[in-house]
Amino acid sequence: MRPPLDLTAEGAADSGTRGHDQTELLALEALYCSHGDTVHYTDPPKLFERCEGSFLYDVEGREYLDLQMWYSAVNFGYRNPRLNNAVTVQLDRLPQLASQYLHREKVELAARLARRIESTWGMKGRVQFNVGGSQAIEDSLKLVRNASRGKSLMFAFEGGYHGRTLGATAITSSYRYRRRYGHFGDRAHFVPFPYCFRCPYGKKRHDCGLYCVDQFARLFDSEYHAAWDAKAGECEFAAFYVEPIQGTGGYVIPPPGYFEKLKGILEARRILLVDDEIQMGFFRAGKLWAMENFDVKPDIIVFGKALTNGLSPLSGLWAREELISPQAFPPGSTHSTFSATPLGTAVALETMKMLDEEDYERMTALKGTYFLNGLHELKRRHRIIGDVDGMGLALRVEICSEDGFTPDKAMVDALVGAALKGDLEQGRKRYGLVLDIGGYYKNVITLAPALTISYAEIDLALALLDQLISRVSKS
Ligand SMILES: Cc1ncc(COP(=O)(O)O)c(C=O)c1O
């Protein structure tokens, strides 16, 4: 028998000798973990113990099909043998090195990324690294400010998410993230995203003529719209930060032609286009960069998450040579002790080799179409599904009231909570589902399955979603 729960300092430190059980861990968490760096969506919060492929396992051994894969950080499946092996090999050779010295993996990774971008878009540039998406966004803000002689005003999208550091929060469209902490410099003007299911201008996609871009263009019609000095030929805003497909905003996919038309305005007004690929990069949306789905060249690309399949917190950015050459952006402009760790760059290099060797574009297109067809079928069967959409394996299910339009956040919360109970049935087995919530009204299930998911697992996902929605919506 275990001794009674001991929450003294000695008891808390005791995990090495006997390991705490779930109840004890939750009690310790409540007492000693800051909740500032997380959100508990369920009560009690869920503990997981093990993972494999598309599945997570809780401490009781229940099996959960993960349809969000760490917000798209584990695109290539949990415990991917090839990528895990890259960590092991590096661990045995050169696991640590100060970032002022060079190691092969960093250099080869930067070269691979830069060459790939050059072959896609014909632009020369360079790559630098950091430890998380938000930190790479901070670095991009420095690049933009440097290139624009210190301008700190940016355009960004309503519904956009770029991280939680102070600079990233300033260009993220939620006052809630800023309210307690004030401003540190950068400010964004938030522009409506082309969220056609809920068009901010009340238009219909088939005949709107991209009215939303025309509304953005109006800002430059006259000096008195407060963005453009016609005499100097200069915009007060240095860059436009975009997610080609909104992530946290609910996997919202823009209509054809949108980014192309927007980019025309940005070029005319000499506003840099910063492409945040942190969530949609690495084939989530069917291409290495989601922006490749549109005929537009970014000036800066920011990436993170799936670069290392979530094995090491490595992020980075690529920028056009004029912006990032050593003359333009001198040594020491940014730095972190851990900015290009051998372990992170080794696994990232292996990721890039794998992506060059295997046809992820075709694979994600086929699986994405198959999954999306299944979601359309679910929409036909369940009135609470107002919209489904997808690009590659970035898929969305928007949950609404029976009218098919009014956002129903409470229903999504109930669905996500019920999915985590782990008692959905398929054949003789029981499963749970790991789902993520997104959207402007937090009523969207954003689906980001492993890109390595099998067709049988997609069938399982659809059957479990069907059962879950029937069970919860009728209860
Ligand atoms: C589009 C986008 N940008 C930036 C970030 C911030 O990245 P991180 O959480 O690694 O700081 C995220 C994280 O979800 C994201 O989805």
The mean per-residue pLDDT over the stretch 448-461 comes to 98
Residues near 276 by beta carbon (within 8 Å), at least 6 away in sequence? 137, 160, 162, 241, 242, 243, 302
Phi and psi of 232, rounded to 5°? Answer: -85, -15
Quickly state the pLDDT bin for 81 (edges 50, 70, 90): very high
Ligand 1 atom 8: the closest Cα is on which residue? 133
How do residues 386-414 score in pLDDT, each as one tens digit? 999 999 999 999 999 999 999 999 999 99
Cα of 386 from ligand 1 centre, angstroms = 27
Output the CA–CA distances (angstroms, integers) from residue 39 to 33, 34, 35, 346, 444, in the order listed. Answer: 12, 10, 7, 31, 17
Instruction: List ligand 1's pocket residues with C-beta within 6 A.
Output: 71, 132-134, 137, 161-163, 243, 247-248, 276, 278-279, 304
Q: What span, in angstroms and rounded, lies between the C-alpha atoms of 289 and 295?
A: 12
Which residues have a Cβ under 8 Å from the Cβ of 282 and sit 6 or more positions away?
Answer: 75, 288, 303, 305, 306, 307, 351, 355
Confidence of residue 337 (pLDDT cuts 50, 70, 90): very high
Taking the centre of ligand 1 as the mean of its atom positions, its distance from the CA of residue 145, in whole angstroms, is: 21
The pLDDT value recorded for residue 457 is: 98
Question: What pLDDT was estimated at residue 159?
Answer: 98
Distance 280 CA to ligand 1 centre (A): 10
* pLDDT > 90 in the chain, percent: 91
Separation of CA 85 from chain center: 25
* Helix H or strand E segment including 301: strand 300-303
Mean pLDDT of the chain: 95
pLDDT at position 423, please? 97
| Alpha-carbon 285 to chain mean position | 11
Average pLDDT on 312-321 reads 98
pLDDT at residue 1 tops 60: no
pLDDT at residue 39 in the model: 87
pLDDT band at 469 (very low <50, low <70, confident <90, very high): very high
pLDDT digits (tens, 9 = 90+) for 182-239: 887 778 999 999 999 999 999 999 999 999 999 999 999 999 999 999 999 999 999 9
- From the list 391, 388, 384, 431, the residue with the least C-alpha distance to 412 is 384
For a pLDDT cut of 70, what percent of the chain falls above it?
Answer: 96
The whole-number pLDDT of residue 199 equals 98
pLDDT of 16 higher than 80: no
Please report, as a single letter, which amino acid is at residue 97: L
Probe residue for ligand 1, chosen from 278, 307, 309, 446 as the CB with the greatest number of ligand atoms within 8 Å:
278
Of all protein residues, the one whose alpha carbon is nearest to atom 6 of ligand 1 is: 163
Closest residue to atom 13 of ligand 1, CA basis: 163
Looking at residue 186, its pLDDT comes to 76
The one-letter code for the residue type at 160 is G
246 forms beta bridges with 252
Q: What is the pLDDT of residues 121-164, one digit of tens each?
A: 999 999 999 999 999 999 999 999 999 999 999 999 999 999 99
- The 8 Å CB, 24+ separation contacts for 215-220 are 216/191, 216/262, 216/265, 217/265, 220/265, 220/268, 220/269
Reported as a single tens digit per residue, the pLDDT across 107-121 is 999 999 999 999 999
Residue to mutate (ligand 1; options 300, 303, 305; most atoms within 8 A of CB): 305
- What confidence tens digit (pLDDT) does each residue in 232-274 have? 999 999 999 999 999 999 999 999 999 999 999 999 999 999 9
Q: What is the pLDDT of residue 34?
A: 93
Atom of ligand 1 nearest to the CA of 135: 11
Task: Tell whether pTM > 0.85.
Answer: yes
